[in-house]
Amino acid sequence: MAQNVTPPRGMRDFLPAEKARREHALGVIRGVYAAHGFDEIETPVMEDSSRLHAGLGGDNEKLAFAVMKRGLTGDDLAAAAASGDALALADLGLRYDLTVPLARFYATNRAALPPVFRSIQIAPVWRAERPQKGRYRQFVQCDIDVIGDATPLAELELLTATVATLDALGLAGCTIRINDRRILAGILASWGVPDDLRERALITIDKLDKIGTGGVAAELVETGAVAADVDVATALEGLATADWHLADGVVPPPAWLDGAAYAELLALRDAMPDAAIEFDPTLVRGMGYYTGTIFEIAHPEFGYSLGGGGRYDHMIGRFLGQEVPACGFSIGFERIVDLLEIRRDDRPRAVVLVHDADVPADRLLAVKGELVASGARVRLERRVKNLRALLDRVTADGFEEFATVTAATTDAASLEFRTLGA
């Protein structure tokens, strides 16, 4: 009986052409981030369970994969399970994002880092998601963060680097939506949401694009966050359609609007006049650690965000014992990589050398070596009876030219290259 040889649910294998596209995209992202002054770091794939479940990761904490303690016997397992304490069974867990590990990294290595630290983290993370289109249990995150700068310059550096990265990837038509948690707090206060239910209410509002204004209103009433006579649906519709150029005097500002926070958002937009930046007072971002500015990448062809982030000034203080300002932005790599095509100019010349069986190996390697030295990517393929099938296969693998090597071939200059797929 054949064994199941597929990857675990929510995890994937990548064939060579797909892996090449992913690595090309990652190279572009790394290059732009580095050009904007960010430095790449690396953190372990596992963190202490107590750190991953410290109330910093919102609902993602529920999706963390636990790593069982070493050396537990049957009796130990039974006792730990009976206790109901998850930490009795597992003391480590796979990271579910890169922000919590970054906060721990900074607290550990602060003495060796500059006063304002600009980091790059590009690495896989794991969440026990229910696998579906666009949602995986293992996926790559591409994060940049600025730690130690409490001024809007941190947000501007992140936004500038992100816009430049999207441009370099060829993703046209993207818009960056911005908001501030202080503005959301004002909206919730105007609806009478109690302080102890505000995080729960924000999680509900974050579902706006999935369940609509009516669904959000009904859930807020059901959870007791708002009274039944508060017309949340109408309020949300008004928030989404209002003209928000308040600084221009188009409409009077509502009483709940945090003027200082809104002025900062306007300043961000005005500092980047060539970028498509829009204020959206319904933008939430689900992570509970955000404290101020939040942002998200939107594209008119997709009903989901292509990345996002925000300011999280209180997280590092949980590890360090003193507050350190921090702000970050993450590109949704898995969501954008399938939208990208590698331009011909971005790839090395890719050629296949089809050779007869009687060509000496040293001559084959010498000809191949000449082409590799010139910057080409070269594959050797022995001639087969069904040459068309072979050429179709290497074309699918991304090769674009082929030449035949015979016993009479002396060097690469004597080869006649033909275009594949022509």
Whether 394 is in a domain gets the answer: yes
126: enclosing H helix or E strand: strand 117-126
Phi then psi dihedrals of residue 40, to 5 deg: -85, 140
Rounded-to-integer distance, Cα 341 and Cα 316, Å: 38
pLDDT at 243: 65
Per-residue pLDDT, 37 = 95
Q: How high is the pLDDT of residue 2?
A: 58
Q: Which DSSP helix (H) or strand (E) runs through 211?
A: helix 208-222
**Per-residue pLDDT tens for 305-352?**
889 999 999 888 888 888 999 999 999 898 888 777 655 556 788 899
Q: Is 240 domain-assigned?
A: yes
Taking the C-alpha atoms of residue 261 and residue 31, their distance in angstroms, rounded to an integer, is: 32
DSSP category for residue 167: H
Q: Please report the pLDDT score of residue 118 as a whole number.
A: 97
Distance CA 245, CA 231 (A): 24
pTM beyond 0.85: the answer is no
Low-confidence ranges of the chain (pLDDT < 50): none
Query: For residue 221, is it within any domain?
Result: yes
The whole-number pLDDT of residue 344 equals 54
- Of residues 119, 118, 102, the one with CA closest to residue 56: 102
Phi then psi for 379, rounded to 5 degrees?
Answer: -125, 140
User: How confident is the model at residue 20, as a pLDDT?
Assistant: 85
Amino acid identity at 223 = T
Per the domain annotation, does 403 fall within a domain?
Answer: yes
Residue 334: which H helix or E strand, with range? helix 333-337
DSSP 46-93: EEEHHHHTSS-SGGGGGGPPEEEPTT--HHHHHHHHHHT-HHHHEEEE
* Angle, in degrees to the nearest 10, between helices 181-190 and 259-271: 140
What's residue 227's pLDDT?
Answer: 84
Task: Give the model's pLDDT for residue 119.
Answer: 97
pLDDT at 98: 94
Domains held by the chain: number? 2
Residues 6+ apart with CB under 8 A from 302: 335
Report whether 204 contacts 219 (CB < 8 A).
Answer: yes
Final residue belonging to a domain, choices 275, 305, 323:
275
Residue that has been written with the tokens 């992100």 in this structure: 162
What sign has the CA pseudo-torsion 174, 180, 183, 184? positive
pLDDT at residue number 213: 85
Domain endpoint, select from 258, 275, 292:
275
Q: Is 380 within the bounds of a domain?
A: yes
What range defines the domain where residue 254 resides?
184-275
Of 222, 257, 275, which marks where a domain is finished?
A: 275
Predicted confidence at residue 152, as pLDDT, reads 93
10 in any annotated domain: no
Using CB atoms within 10 Å of the CB of residue 324, give its burial: 0 to 12 exposed, 13 to 18 middle, 19+ buried.
buried
Sign of CA dihedral 7, 9, 14, 19: negative
Q: What is the spatial distance between Cα 398 and Cα 192, in angstroms, rounded to a whole number?
A: 59
411 within domain boundaries: yes
Q: How far is CA 9 from the centre of its chain?
A: 20
Residue 24, domain member (yes or no): no
